[in-house]
Amino acid sequence: MKTKLLLLPFLMSCALGMQRTQAQTTLVPGDIAILWYQADTPDSFAFTTFVDLEGGTQILFTDCGAVPAGTFDPAGCGEGANVYTVPVSGIEAGEIISYNFAVPTSEFSNYSGDSVITSATGMSLSTGGDSITVLQGTGESPSLIFILSGSSTTFSGDDSNSTTETNLFTGLTDVGLPRTAVAVGSGPLPSQEFDNAVYSGSYTFTTIQDAKIALTTPANYVGANDLLDSPYNALVAAIPDKLNILALSTNEFDLGTVISVYPNPSKGQIIIKNSGVALETLTINDVNGRRISYYDLNGASGDQSLDLRNMLSSGMYLMEIVSKKGSTIKKLLIQ
């Protein structure tokens, strides 16, 4: 019996360790943005994440574009893809990852290919116009997250006609701000391209939402067809290792300034307005400190809608909202 009791914690520890290493962050459109694209040798690009990424999370980057139907070419795309695997330690929101194809790193590997993304040699960006699409899953069953196109200022091309063109993938948007499809070519024709393009704005933002807007505004990108272009080179050299998101700073961070609850007073249906901070938990207590309800928010950084009509009677309640960087307590009056 003693041996069994000693063995049980060991087995539980192993099981928990396996769960941690196998965990993946499931991304949604707009969680990743490409901020640098270089088709001139050496092919390179950089991306940032607007959410924390669990170690082991895999993200695909492909230069396969879209056909007018809003999908990859069903007949197959001969361009390739690279898989980025998040290091075991994970990545925090705002970190910037750069990749130079001439200097491979262990986090990047060539995608093995499938019936849609048929090449197994990785990306090879074309100086005649190209794009980088971010996804999870496979070419056959993709979960699309973002696209940056240097081919044109529009998504009017057809990848089945030319690998230098792309249309707009269904589920991504190139209107409004922030957007999930950004076209930074030199003109509106399908292959009116820039070989290279880089974000030219500030890397300091008040909130994640502000960062998303700035990094997906096409006017904030500078294009170049020559690596001797001085403004382009200066901007590439200035890419930092991480965005400076003031709302995520540990220095005197007040979560209450980026979180609001409305309507308040309420009849029980409320919205927690979030300016882009990853939230961990929400606890609702009565004025005597008794817990009424608890929610695991799992790092959600968007607005949250709650229907509390069947849970709370009229009166005053205290909502404790917690992130990794801080917490705040909001008073909620139920009528």
CATH code where residue 280 lies: 2.60.40.3080
Query: What's the pLDDT at 23?
Result: 66
Tell me, yes or no, whether 236 lies in a domain. yes
Shared-domain flag, residues 243 and 307: no
**How far apart are the C-alpha atoms of 185 and 25, rounded to whole Å?**
31
Q: Does residue 116 have a pLDDT over 90?
A: yes
Mean pLDDT taken over the chain:
89
Q: Does residue 2 have a pLDDT over 50?
A: no
Q: Does residue 5 have a pLDDT over 70?
A: no
Q: Does residue 32 have a pLDDT over 90?
A: yes
Shared-domain flag, residues 149 and 286: no
Query: What's the pLDDT at 253?
Result: 60
Q: What type of residue is 216?
A: T
Cis peptide before 178 (omega within 30 of 0): yes
Which tens digit of pLDDT belongs to each residue from 15-29?
A: 444 344 456 899 999
Shared-domain flag, residues 130 and 261: no
Domain boundary among 185, 215, 248: 248
Given phi > 0 = left and psi -120 to 50 = alpha, else beta, which region is 171? left
Tell me, yes or no, whether 12 lies in a domain. no
Domain count, the chain: 2
Closest CA to 83 of 103, 95, 99, 71: 99
Shared-domain flag, residues 177 and 288: no
Query: What's the pLDDT at 82?
Result: 98
Contact, 71 vs 153, CB < 8 A? no
Shared-domain flag, residues 213 and 183: yes
**How far apart are the C-alpha atoms of 222 and 198, rounded to whole Å?**
6
**How far apart are the C-alpha atoms of 152 and 38, rounded to whole Å?**
15
Shared-domain flag, residues 220 and 267: no
Q: What type of residue is 24?
A: Q
Tell me, yes or no, whether 110 lies in a domain. yes
Tell me, yes or no, whether 20 lies in a domain. no
CA of residue 201 relative to chain centroid, distance: 19
Q: Does residue 299 have a pLDDT over 50?
A: yes
Task: Collapse the DSSP code of 16 into the 3-class scheme (helix H, G, I; strand E, B; otherwise coil) and give the result.
Answer: helix
Shared-domain flag, residues 259 and 164: no
Average pLDDT over residues 36-49: 98
Tokens of 213: 């807007």
Band the pLDDT of 4: cuts 50, 70, 90: very low
* β partners of residue 136: 143
Which alpha helices (H) appear in the chain, and where do they start and end? 2-22, 208-215, 230-237
Shared-domain flag, residues 238 and 316: no
Shared-domain flag, residues 143 and 240: yes
Tokens of 331: 């008073």
Indicate the helix (H) or strand (E) that contains 262: strand 259-262
Tell me, yes or no, whether 193 lies in a domain. yes
Query: What's the pLDDT at 207?
Result: 84
Domain boundary among 248, 269, 287: 248
**How far apart are the C-alpha atoms of 119 and 82, rounded to whole Å?**
10
Query: What's the pLDDT at 324?
Result: 79
Q: Is 0.75 topped by the overall pTM?
A: no
Domain boundary among 217, 248, 279: 248
Tell me, yes or no, whether 14 lies in a domain. no
Shared-domain flag, residues 50 and 105: yes
> 175: Cβ–Cβ under 8 A, 6 or more apart, which residues?
none
> 84: Cβ–Cβ under 8 A, 6 or more apart, which residues?
58, 59, 60, 61, 97, 99, 107, 108
**How far apart are the C-alpha atoms of 174 and 146, rounded to whole Å?**
10
Query: What's the pLDDT at 1?
Result: 36
* Residue appearing with tokens 């990047």: 108
Query: What's the pLDDT at 330?
Result: 87
Which tens digit of pLDDT belongs to each residue from 133-182?
A: 999 999 999 999 999 999 999 999 999 999 999 999 999 999 999 999 99
Tell me, yes or no, whether 105 lies in a domain. yes
* β partners of residue 294: 283
Strands 131-137 and 58-62: antiparallel
Contact, 295 vs 260, CB < 8 A? no
Share of the chain above pLDDT 90, in %: 69
**How far apart are the C-alpha atoms of 165 and 322, rounded to whole Å?**
45
Domain hosting 141: range is 26-248
Query: What's the pLDDT at 129?
Result: 94
Tokens of 81: 């893809």
Share of the chain above pLDDT 70, in %: 91
Shared-domain flag, residues 215 and 275: no
Tell me, yes or no, whether 19 lies in a domain. no
Q: Does residue 11 have a pLDDT over 50?
A: no
**How far apart are the C-alpha atoms of 94 and 243, rounded to whole Å?**
5
**How far apart are the C-alpha atoms of 116 and 126, rounded to whole Å?**
19
User: With the C-alpha atoms ordered 331, 256, 50, 156, is the resulting torsion angle positive or negative?
Assistant: positive
Band the pLDDT of 277: cuts 50, 70, 90: confident
Helix and strand counts by DSSP (H, E) for the chain: 3, 20
Query: What's the pLDDT at 302?
Result: 85
Query: What's the pLDDT at 58?
Result: 98
Q: Does residue 90 have a pLDDT over 80?
A: yes
Band the pLDDT of 14: cuts 50, 70, 90: very low
Query: What's the pLDDT at 206?
Result: 82
Query: What's the pLDDT at 249?
Result: 60
Shared-domain flag, residues 202 and 78: yes
